[in-house]
Amino acid sequence: MKKKSRTKRPLSALTGIILSIFTENPFKAYNYKQVGHLIGVKDSAGRDLLLKIITELVENNSLNEIRRGKYMLNPEKLRELSNIKKYITGTVDMKKTGKAYIIPDEGGDDIYIASNNVAHALHDDKVKVLIFPKRKSHKTEGQIVEVLERIKDTYVGVLEVSKNFGFVTTDNQSMPYDIFVPKSMFNGAESGQKVLVKIADWPEKSNNPFGEIIDVLGTPGDNDVEMKSILADYNFPLSFPKNVEKDADRIPTTISSTEIKKRRDFRNTWTLTIDPLDAKDFDDAISLVKLENGNYEVGIHIADVSHFVIPGTALDDEALVRATSVYLVDRVIPMLPEVLSNQVCSLRPNEDKLTFSAVFIMNNKAEVLEQWFGKTVINSDRRFTYEEAQEIIETGEGEYADEINVLNALATLLRKKRFNNGSINFNSEEVKFTLDESGKPIETYIKEQKEANHLVEEFMLLANKKVAELIGNPKELKGKEPKTFVYRIHDEPNPEKLNVFVQFLKKLGYSLNVSSRQTLASSYNNLFEKIHGKGEETMIETIAIRTMAKAIYSTDNIGHYGLAFPYYTHFTSPIRRYPDLLVHRLLEKYLENGKSANKDVYEEMCKHSSDMEKKATQAERDSVKYKQVEFLLDKKGKVFDGVISGVSKWGIFVQLLISKSEGLIRFNELKDDYYYLDEDNYRIIGRQSGNIYRLGDKVNVLVKDVDMEKRQLDFVIVD
């Protein structure tokens, strides 16, 4: 019997949004025009679709037509929603105050847990929750009754010592408790030092967990100590075990003639790499040949890591545990030892290198006419930085200008087609720093994505898409059963979150058309164009991303919503991502007509890789946040330009234009008036003057305080 996919598909975005409007207002009646107004549907085609969906909801007894053209939630549906299970399981989202929210395993709204009902649960723990009866106009609340799985038991913090005991105040903003440490468990640590502490016990009647110090990291404020602290807090290893290093050192650095004969030879084909200036792990290269008939042969060549990293070895076991390289501001914690990541597997110029390639015959419209996948050997002609390639694209001059401009023209066409097909153009700014010898940031800037970046991106996307289609697309399979494979999947937006986002945009004077998947994607892209350069840009883009599901790895393919690809995988970065290494192994096996791999085994590795990717992303953000705050440490009293990026009950948040650092202007620092929060309209209003500060407004602020320990900034508004 065929195993059922464990990935559940939600209601279509529009149907889910419509139903959420009625469920959030169960005693209110709407006509279809009112619903259309709430979600920003303005055209007649969209209203027709709305009426059709509402009619279907009436037919399946979700809604009642209480009078002609007026609809209300069916009371039976309300009772169904009210009579949810007494218990649910989920993941803890803990706040520094001690309160928490539970993200249910089965989806749906978060459940609020008061601080006196968290029952020793900690952030990210898997828990069982008792649901309280829902009160009208109140959020769903509950009580944690059991911790099913403790996800994290080690924390980084500063030890403060009393006479016979100490407490570790943790760096982690999701940890609301200090950790009690008996003197016998100091293990050489001294007061004021940054340490790694492990929770050993938590007596039932104790407010604080008991711990043991397992590592002394050093003096707070030292760059190396702070970066290691971030890694230690997420349990990333700081070095490779000796047996792994030995495995790596045994790998031959030369390629045998026997191995070369097994492969398609591209060593005499023009090939380049384009990477960041400071990159050392070059895991992708692109080749180009113009054919006699005017078409092009484009090769996407990826480091053949699977040739060197063999399943069952200590090297492979360690790579799986790490699952990803971690990129902090000033260092890389690689998935593979340096001899592999920076030498043997890195596609350095003028060296023979083993690769796994996707080769396409394309016409001048960037249409793929033929494709080939297999093991190859290359010798890159030139290593370009993004800046060098960009200058050639902009000027049309420089070494290999003709080839680069052909690749850029093809990539531009691929990009245009992708967006026309519904791909969403999320713009995410990457903050970069120039550091001095001690690691202190002396300059900060935003890394721009230009044509050279898009050139590489489009060909990598093409290779990833075509590899996934080869294994998963029924057209490619020609009647054969699909085999186990690793996909990169991205689910549809959560309807409730999308509805909240639509209402948020409406208050800011923007709209989002959610009448269909295609119009939603197009509407997102139009929105991003409209807000570009405006004060509210960062806030809107951040919330837009939060409405989306997170992309993950899975053996159950549901497509990639954001890219609008029915089949997608990660094939192009096996030096730094373990799932890409899995894809290489499976692709090689299936090209040789091998049997389908064990689905359960690969699904477990997919889940682990997704979890580790999330941790790596959080660690990278923490390192950027630390440097953003540190950049302002010697700038107290100075004035900078900023934009209001958020409003809250504590005051207004301002993001500086120079560094994208975000700080708080507290209400008591606004001396000219007494201000109150108008939360619904994302603004604060002066009670006497009527003066308004709203989301997106440009302001000048003085840096009042920089708290490195809490990584917090306090600003004061100036005229």
How far is residue 340 from each of residues 115, 312, 318, 337, measured CA to CA in Å?
A: 48, 17, 13, 6
Encoded tokens for 38: 């709430």
Cβ atoms within 10 Å of 348's Cβ, excluding its own = 16
Extended beta strands in 252-387, E state: 264-265, 271-275, 284-290, 296-303, 326-327, 332-333, 352-362, 368-379, 382-385
Cβ atoms within 10 Å of 197's Cβ, excluding its own = 28
Among candidates 562, 381, 303, 583, which has minimal Cα distance to 471?
583
Most confident of 30-44, 89-103, 135-149, 540-554: 89-103
What is the percentage of the chain residues whose pLDDT exceeds 70? Answer: 96
Which SS3 state, helix, strand or coil, does residue 270 take? coil
Cβ neighbors of 70 (< 8 A, separation 6 or more) are 29, 30, 31
**DSSP notation for 603-639:** HHHHHHHHHHHHHHHHHHHHHHHHHHHHHTTT-TT-E
Encoded tokens for 361: 């015959």
Cβ neighbors of 233 (< 8 A, separation 6 or more) are 154, 155, 156, 171, 172, 619, 622
What is the mean pLDDT of the segment spanning 322-330?
Answer: 96
CA 54 to CA 35: how far, in whole Å? 10
More confident residue, 8 or 89: 89
In this prediction the pTM is: 0.85
What is the mean pLDDT of the segment spanning 209-231?
Answer: 94
Q: For residue 7, name the pLDDT band (cuts at 50, 70, 90).
A: very low
How far is residue 262 from each of residues 91, 252, 376, measured CA to CA in Å?
A: 49, 17, 8
Q: For residue 1, name the pLDDT band (cuts at 50, 70, 90).
A: very low
Q: Are 209 and 121 in contact (CB under 8 A)?
A: no
Mean pLDDT of the chain: 90
Query: Using CB atoms within 10 A of its CB, is residue 54 exposed (0-12), middle (13-18) or buried (19+)?
Result: buried
Amino acid at 642: G
CA 104 to CA 512: how far, in whole Å? 27
Residue 4: predicted pLDDT: 38
Write the pLDDT tens digit of every residue in 27-45: 788 988 888 888 877 777 7
Residue 521: predicted pLDDT: 84
Under DSSP, the state recorded for 318 is H
Write the pLDDT tens digit of every residue in 616-627: 999 999 999 999
CA 185 to CA 383: how far, in whole Å? 52
Residue 493: predicted pLDDT: 85
Residue 9: predicted pLDDT: 34
What is the percentage of the chain residues whose pLDDT exceeds 90? Answer: 67
Instruction: Lowest mean pLDDT of 381-385, 499-503, 577-581, name the range.
Output: 499-503
3-state secondary structure 378-423: EECCEEEEHHHHHHHHHHCCCCCHHHHHHHHHHHHHHHHHHHHCCC
Cβ neighbors of 402 (< 8 A, separation 6 or more) are none
Q: What is the separation, in whole angstroms, between the first and last Cα of the chain?
A: 71
What is the mean pLDDT of the segment spanning 161-181?
Answer: 93
Residue 11: predicted pLDDT: 44
Q: Are 579 and 305 in contact (CB under 8 A)?
A: no
Under DSSP, the state recorded for 425 is -
Alpha helices, H only, 172-304: 223-233, 242-249, 257-261
Query: Using CB atoms within 10 A of its CB, is residue 73 exposed (0-12), middle (13-18) or buried (19+)?
Result: buried
Cβ atoms within 10 Å of 8's Cβ, excluding its own = 9
Cβ neighbors of 410 (< 8 A, separation 6 or more) are 296, 298, 362, 364, 366, 458
- Per the listing, tokens 């792994």 go with 244
Angle, alpha carbons 237-240-244 (nearest 5°)? 140
Residue 217: predicted pLDDT: 95
**pLDDT higher than threshold 90 for residue 556:** yes
Residue 82: predicted pLDDT: 56
Residue 33: predicted pLDDT: 87
Cβ atoms within 10 Å of 432's Cβ, excluding its own = 16
Residue 138: predicted pLDDT: 64
CA 261 to CA 481: how far, in whole Å? 33
Encoded tokens for 492: 């549809």
Cβ neighbors of 383 (< 8 A, separation 6 or more) are 272, 273, 275, 282, 348, 349
Cβ neighbors of 525 (< 8 A, separation 6 or more) are 419, 424, 425
Strand 165-170 and strand 692-694: the pairing is: unpaired
Residue 135: predicted pLDDT: 59
Give the burial string for 249-284 (b: 16+ CB within 10 Å, else e).
eebeeebeeeeeeebeebeebbbbbbbeeebebbbb
Angle, alpha carbons 459-540-535 (nearest 5°)? 105
Q: Are 495 and 10 in contact (CB under 8 A)?
A: yes
Phi, psi dihedrals of residue 618, rounded to the nearest 5°: -65, -40
Torsion, CA 603, CA 604, CA 606, CA 611, rounded to 10: 150
**pLDDT higher than threshold 90 for residue 508:** no
Write the pLDDT tens digit of every residue in 427-484: 777 889 999 998 999 999 888 889 999 999 999 999 999 999 999 998 888 778 899 9
Q: Are 471 and 485 in contact (CB under 8 A)?
A: yes
Q: Are 35 and 50 in contact (CB under 8 A)?
A: yes
Q: For residue 538, name the pLDDT band (cuts at 50, 70, 90).
A: confident
Residue 421: predicted pLDDT: 92
Helix axis angle, 13-24 to 495-507, nearest 10°: 80
Write the pLDDT tens digit of every residue in 64-120: 998 888 998 887 776 665 554 578 999 999 998 999 999 998 877 789 999 989 999
Residue 714: predicted pLDDT: 95
Cβ neighbors of 302 (< 8 A, separation 6 or more) are 283, 284, 355, 356, 357, 358, 463, 571, 572, 573, 574, 580, 584
Angle, alpha carbons 291-294-295 (nearest 5°)? 70
> 63 - beta bridge partners?
73
Q: Are 441 and 627 in contact (CB under 8 A)?
A: yes
Q: Are 582 and 486 in contact (CB under 8 A)?
A: yes
**pLDDT higher than threshold 50 for residue 487:** yes
Torsion, CA 470, CA 613, CA 455, CA 565, rounded to 10: 40
**pLDDT higher than threshold 80 for residue 139:** no
Which SS3 state, helix, strand or coil, does residue 500 take? helix
**pLDDT higher than threshold 70 for residue 13:** no
Residue 417: predicted pLDDT: 96
How far is residue 221 from each of residues 5, 456, 662, 679, 711, measured CA to CA in Å?
A: 49, 38, 20, 37, 11
CA 538 to CA 645: how far, in whole Å? 7
Helix axis angle, 401-420 to 451-472, nearest 10°: 60
> 195 - beta bridge partners?
157, 216
More confident residue, 476 or 666: 666
**pLDDT higher than threshold 70 for residue 490:** yes
Residue 479: predicted pLDDT: 78
Q: For residue 10, name the pLDDT band (cuts at 50, 70, 90).
A: very low
Instruction: Lowest mean pLDDT of 7-16, 117-126, 292-301, 627-636, name the range.
Output: 7-16
Residue 554: predicted pLDDT: 98
